[in-house]
Amino acid sequence: QQTADELSAKGVDAIAIEADLADYGSMTAAAKSCFAHYGNIDLLFLNAGIQKVGSFLELPLEDHLKTIDVNLKGVLHGCRALLPSMIDSDIPSHIMTTTASAALLTPNKLSSYNASKSGAQSLVETIHHELRELGSKVTVSTLLPAAVKTQLFDWARYGGQASEASGDFEQS
């Protein structure tokens, strides 16, 4: 809400919509709110991620599943909830997803993160080809940053030891 308020104060038509990327119902509700307010979406950024650092066998199954829910299902839900209406709008528009260099590399101690980012990368590449076949005016692409100093990096835990900041999951 703070960001929307700051933008509104500068004359930008901005609204805050809370959504849970891991919940498709939440994403469809957010999509409906966006389209109700703006009529269409020209540019959509899907930029969420969590990361738990530790060996595959050390991390609890719940941590693996939560990582996949946000990093992979978040992209799936966002694209699925918004893409049909974006296509129907028949205007040039774009979806930019943030995966990570981990989509192409496999850093140690990041098994679920690597897998989820690779899955998201593959999903977006497939959607790209399907949109081209449809002749859609909607395009999609990915951004694959390497390690960037964000809250995602700050909240890491490595082998049960907290990094500079404490927290269970890294988030960006």
- Among 88, 89, 112, 91, which Cα is nearest to 100's? 112
Distance CA 69, CA 60 (A): 15
Q: Which residues contact 86 (CB under 8 A, 6 or more apart)?
A: 40, 41, 44, 93, 95, 138
Catalytic choice (24, 38, 113, 158): 113
Distances (CA, A) of 136 to 68, 127, 142, 171: 29, 11, 18, 33
Rg (CA), the chain: 17
Amino acid at residue number 76: L
- Catalytic site residue 113? yes
What are φ and ψ of residue 123, in 5° steps?
-60, -50
Contact between 16 and 3 (Cβ < 8 Å): yes
Q: Catalytic residue numbers?
A: 113
